[in-house]
Structures are given as structure tokens and as C-alpha cells.
Structure 1
Amino acid sequence: MDKLTISEVKQIYGEIKKVIDENKDFLINLDAAMGDGDLGLTMTVGFDAIVKEINNTSDNDIGNIIAKMGMVMSNVAPPRLEPF
């Protein structure tokens, strides 16, 4: 593979979503051991939004698409209420 295509980037995000969906409970339990246990929920909601957005984008610039998907995740992920 010399370079990624838009179709492959969309497929990659779709595959990540499948892995997140399959491991939602594991992520919740893992996060609950040291945090508030919302990681599985956050990632599920985030990747649902990303896949929906990426499948509706008409942008042909992979860099722009990846940046936009980061913003999508940022917009749907709950804000951190306490300092690190």
C-alpha cells in the first residue's frame, strides 16, 4: 500500500467502531477500576458519531477528514470535570 484512500480511511474508522462496540463493557470495567467507568460509553458514543459523520462527508482530503473526526470526538465526549 503506497497511500490510504478515502474509502480505506472510512473503513478503518468503521472497524475501530466495531472493536469499541465489542469491548464496551470491558472498557467500562477497566475504567471503573481507577476512574468513573465511562470510557466504554464515551468511546461508543464518540465512534458512533464519527462513523455517521465520515460516511456523510464529501471532503476528499484525508488530513481534513482525520482532523474533523477528532473534532467530532471532542464535541461528543463529556468534558473532564476535575483537574488531572
Structure 2
Amino acid sequence: MAFGVEQAKRWMNIANDHIQQQKQYLTELDQAIGDGDHGLNMARGFQEVVEKISSTNYEDLGSLFKDVSMTLIAKVGGASGPLYGTAFLKMSLALAGKKEADDKELIAALEAEL
């Protein structure tokens, strides 16, 4: 089965659901070594992501993941916004112009994030 824009939107929605459910736990983990805002920042950022992508029609995966990237960079504070944003930016470059990705292309895009 090919991975297309609708599957990517669903993936981001599922990620957001999990982050929203675990934001307190993520914040508690961050309190031990940081300023204690990681869960709140990630929850805010991914909520913005799903709002952005749900209101936008995308022609290809690259443009969707570029919006994910730019939203995370703009809305997630600290080091996490640029870190996650850059990962999704690299994924967007790997999938630029692709309406769908097969398994090999998706794996290559995920590896590009590393």
C-alpha cells in the first residue's frame, strides 16, 4: 500500500493524540533535567500541526511535511522545535513532489530525518 497525503495526515493526527495524552508525563520527565515544559511545548506544536494540515490541501507529501516542519519550528519552544522541525524538513526534501511513497521511499525519507 502506498503512503500518500491522507495517510500522512492520519499519522500526524495519531502522533498529536498520543502527545496530548502524554503531555504531563513528558513534562515530568523534562522537570528532572530541564525546565519542565517539553510536554506542553510538544502538545502545543503538534496541535498547531494538525490544525494547519487539516485546513490545507496538499498536492504532494513534501509540501505537507514542509508545513509540519515550519509549524514545529515556529510553535515548539526550546531545542525541541528546531530538532523535530529539521527532521521533518529533511523528510519533506526526500519526498518533494511525490504524491505517494512506496515502502522503500518512505524508509529512505525516515532515514533522511536521522
Which residue does 1:49 correspond to in 2? 48
Q: Name the structure where helix makes up a greater proportion of residues.
A: 2
Give structure 2 stretches of 5+ with no counterpart.
80-114
1:12-49 alpha-carbon deviations (Å, 9 max, x no partner):
00000010011011100001110001100111100110
Give structure 1 stretches of 5+ with no counterpart.
none
TM-score (norm 2): 0.66
1:1-84 correspondence to structure 2 within 5 Å: 1=1, 3-79=2-78
User: CA–CA distance in 2 between the matches of 1:27 and 1:79?
Assistant: 14
Task: State the 4+ residue runs in structure 1 displaced beyond 3 angstroms.
Answer: none
Count of aligned pairs: 79
1:5 Cα deviation after fit: 1.5
| RMSD, aligned α-carbons | 1.1
TM-score (norm 1): 0.88
